[in-house]
Amino acid sequence: MRKCSAAFYITLGFVSLWTTVASTGSCDCGRENLNVDKCSNTEGVSDLACYIKYIKNKRMSICEWKGNMSTSYTLYTKQRKCSCIAVHQKDKIWTSNYFVVVLDWNMTAHVIATSKDQPSCTYTNFSGIPSMMTMCGPHSKLIYKRSSGHLTVWVDWGTESKYIKNFLVKYREFNTTKWKEQQSKNNKECVLWNLTPSLPYELQTQCVPNKECAQCPLSKVIMVPPELTDAPSIQLEIQDHMQNRFISPGQRKVVVKWEYANSEAVANYSVTVWKVSGEPSNRDSFSTEDSSLTLILSYSAYNISIRALNSAGSSPVSSIAIEQMDEWRDSFGPFTVNITGNNSFSLSWSSSVSSVCYSVEWWAKGQIPAFRSFYVKQTHKEKTEKTESIFQPYTRYYFFLHIRPYQDTCNMKNVNDSETTYGIAQTYFTEGSPISAPGNVSILNITQHSSVITWSPVSEEDLRGFLLGYCIYLTEDNNETSFKVDPSINSYELQNLESNSAYRVQLSAFTAAGEGERSDFTHFVTKPPEFTALNSIIAAVVVGIIILLLAVHFSFRLLHRAKKLLWPSIPNPENSNAVQKIEIAYELGILEPLNRQRLEESEGCDSSTVCVVGSKREASPISSPPTTLLLSEDEDSPSILEEIAPPDIPTRESVIKKTLPTDFNKTDSVLRTSLDEEVTTFESKDPREIVSNTTVSDFVPASQPAVVFMSDYTTMEIFQQVTMTGIQGPSIQTVKPGLVAVHPGQDYVRQSYFLQEIVKEPPGAFNSTDVLNPEITVL
Cα–Cα distance measured from residue 61 to residue 64, given in angstroms and rounded to the nearest whole number? 10
Q: Specify whether the CB–CB gap between 642 and 724 falls below 8 A.
A: no
| Secondary structure letter of residue 130 according to DSSP | G
Q: Is 109 helix (H, G, I), strand (E, B) or coil?
A: strand
Cα–Cα distance measured from residue 326 to residue 421, given in angstroms and rounded to the nearest whole number? 11
Residue 608 buriedness (CB in 10 A; 0-12 / 13-18 / 19+):
middle
Query: How are beta strands 676-681 and 654-659 bridged, if at all?
Result: antiparallel
Mean pLDDT estimate for the chain: 74
Residue 328 confidence (pLDDT): 60
Q: Specify whether the CB–CB gap between 181 and 167 falls below 8 A.
A: no
Residues in the chain: 779
| Secondary structure letter of residue 770 according to DSSP | B
Query: Which range (23-37, 106-120, 264-278) has the least confidence?
Result: 23-37
| Secondary structure letter of residue 449 according to DSSP | S
CA atoms within 13 Å, Cβ hemisphere of 15: 8
Cα–Cα distance measured from residue 496 to residue 449, given in angstroms and rounded to the nearest whole number? 5
Q: Specify whether the CB–CB gap between 445 and 491 falls below 8 A.
A: no
Q: Is 24 helix (H, G, I), strand (E, B) or coil?
A: coil
Query: Which conformational region is residue 514 in: left (phi greater than 0), alpha (psi within -120 to 50 degrees), or beta?
Result: left
Of 663, 690, 664, 662, residue with least CA distance to 678: 690
State the DSSP string of 522-591.
Answer: EEEEPPPPPPPHHHHHHHHHHHHHHHHHHHHHHHHHHHHHHHHHHSPPPP-GGG-TTTT----SSPPPPP
Distance of CA 85 to the CA centre of its chain: 85
Rounded to 5°, the CA angle 10-13-17 comes to 140
| Secondary structure letter of residue 231 according to DSSP | P
pLDDT(132) > 60? yes
Threshold 0.85, pTM exceeds: no
pLDDT tens by residue, 437-465? 999 999 999 998 999 999 999 999 999 99
Q: Which helix (H) or strand (E) holds 34?
A: helix 31-34
Residue 385 confidence (pLDDT): 84
What contacts 265, CB < 8 A, 6 or more positions away? 200, 225, 226, 228, 310
Residue 468 confidence (pLDDT): 95
Of 540, 278, 303, 300, residue with least CA distance to 423: 300
CA Rg value for the chain:
70
Residue 112 confidence (pLDDT): 83
pLDDT tens by residue, 533-591? 677 788 888 999 999 999 888 888 888 888 778 777 666 666 655 554 444 444 444 44
pLDDT(304) > 80? yes
Cα–Cα distance measured from residue 421 to residue 360, given in angstroms and rounded to the nearest whole number? 10
**Can you list the alpha helix ranges (DSSP code H) found in 567-681?**
596-601
Of 63, 69, 80, residue with least CA distance to 29: 80
Cα–Cα distance measured from residue 391 to residue 430, given in angstroms and rounded to the nearest whole number? 9
- What is the dihedral angle through the alpha carbons of 401, 407, 411, 416, rounded to the nearest 10 degrees? -80
Residue 462 confidence (pLDDT): 94
Q: Is 442 helix (H, G, I), strand (E, B) or coil?
A: strand
Cα–Cα distance measured from residue 160 to residue 209, given in angstroms and rounded to the nearest whole number? 12
